[in-house]
Structure 1
């Protein structure tokens, strides 16, 4: 099964950002992708105080455009994330990742649980997501069908990557381990260069599953901030199957359900796990 990550460098123009993403979705589909993954908040990167102006309800606006793209291109589309309107809250939004199947049916929605609040040594907020985002709830696993069978998947977003319990303590993981973890991110350059690959490979190894990680890249806010890029696809043994640098573009790789089964038979760590 061919999987594609679309690595993007969005700026402040929501319409342009979405248009670029849709073009890449079509291109990846034409290259044979069955699953396409977008990065976190690919729709807007700018002044956080203005983020609420980009928001939509599920089924409307950008979410509807992405639903149509999944259906038109006949792909499973993991939609990175976009600002979801919260009823009766004009100042905050959910950071929401929606997944559509190839028929345009919504099969998963996850609202980011862990918000990145980074303070410098002088107490100045460098990143403070909780100023504009509301906390979500733990993600739920979901099933989807492909040409090579049924896959059990989980979506997490960026900072969630640092909290392995969000995966290991998931009720579904206790009975049916995940075959794929999709990570959509806007992982910063400063932390990404030291931690991104290590964390991704660790999640793949400890859960004996594929990790498909789609990150933002490049500078935004007139060069004030920078994301790390380096989107990658990692197999259940922790090997990097495919990786981009910091360029905008499409990352593609074949993944195989048999590799998940083989890894778990080769080293039955999940079967040996004790739940405390």
Structure 2
């Protein structure tokens, strides 16, 4: 089996973003009949621009063209797809930042709505980020069964909240995927060390698919460095810059050996985390 992260430089042009993703899927280096897992970054179809665009393109259970387009690609190219994030209608004129997981027939295995919203000040060109002005926070954790193992879903800023990752491990996660659009400033400071910490603490593979470069005439700049980290904290593969693929053929036996030799889940004396309102 093969795991693949697609590092993107997405814009507010949905059709251009879809064309880029499909072009990359056509060129995906793969062996015939080898199971494929593909992870897209946060906001892979719609990044930047006016926040009203998020509402304009937000899906519903009955009408979700963005999800449908990526589900079709998963089926056409015969791969399991963690479809980055896309807007989904919520109450009070807001949207969820939703990550879908599709199987190789284009069926939905599950979804996750981003729980932690990026309301922070950063020393970059944007300076102030207030996701809560547009987005609603999710309430449910998600772990899905796949041929690759049990996959937990998290998104970008979630990476800073260790309790979420511990909760996913307690739900059975072997792999935790993290579609992201980490800023260049915060990425340089914390991206790799946080990915490695979450992998080591929970003895899981962590798959961080990030945006890269300048977006929408330079108003946003993201860090790149999409990477796959193993349960020992080793970076198996990464792509510091530019767009394209990060690929690994993992050894799942390593996961079981590490957990058996150092059973931190059993040794932990603290109560299991729970979601607050």
For normalisation by structure 1, the TM-score amounts to 0.90
Compute the displacement of 1:30 (Å): 4.6
Question: Conserved in 2, the CA contact under 8 Å of 1:36 and 1:77?
Answer: yes
Aligned to 1:157: 155
Compute the displacement of 1:252 (Å): 0.6
Gaps of 5+ in 1: none
Compute the displacement of 1:102 (Å): 1.2
Compute the displacement of 1:56 (Å): 1.9
Compute the displacement of 1:198 (Å): 0.4
1:49 to 43, 49, 52: 52
Aligned to 1:73: 77
Compute the displacement of 1:29 (Å): 6.5
Counting only pairs closer than 5 Å after superposition, residues 93-172 of structure 1 correspond to structure 2 as: 93-119=95-121, 126-146=128-148, 151-170=149-168
Give the Cα separation in 2 of the matches to 1:157 and 1:10: 16
Question: Is residue 2:21 matched to residue 1:13?
Answer: no
Give the Cα separation in 1 of the matches to 2:247 and 2:106: 22
Question: Conserved in 1, the CA contact under 8 Å of 2:210 and 2:226?
Answer: yes
For normalisation by structure 2, the TM-score amounts to 0.90
Question: Is residue 2:4 matched to residue 1:4?
Answer: yes
Gaps of 5+ in 2: 272-277
Question: Conserved in 2, the CA contact under 8 Å of 1:216 and 1:229?
Answer: yes
Give the Cα separation in 2 of the matches to 1:261 and 1:13: 43
Compute the displacement of 1:139 (Å): 1.7
3-state SS of 1:262 partner: helix
Compute the displacement of 1:13 (Å): 0.7
3-state SS of 1:28 partner: coil
Aligned to 2:27: 27
Question: Is residue 2:235 matched to residue 1:240?
Answer: yes
Compute the displacement of 1:9 (Å): 0.5
**May I ask how many residue pairs the two structures share in their alignment?**
265
Question: Is residue 2:267 matched to residue 1:272?
Answer: yes
Moved more, 126-135 or 21-30: 21-30
Compute the displacement of 1:26 (Å): 2.9
Aligned to 1:62: 66
3-state SS of 2:139 partner: coil
Structure 1 segments of 4 or more deviating over 4 A? Answer: 29-33
After superposition, the CA RMSD in angstroms is: 1.9
Compute the displacement of 1:125 (Å): 6.3
Give the Cα separation in 2 of the matches to 1:232 and 1:264: 22
3-state SS of 1:6 partner: strand
Question: Conserved in 2, the CA contact under 8 Å of 1:152 and 1:178?
Answer: yes
3-state SS of 1:21 partner: helix
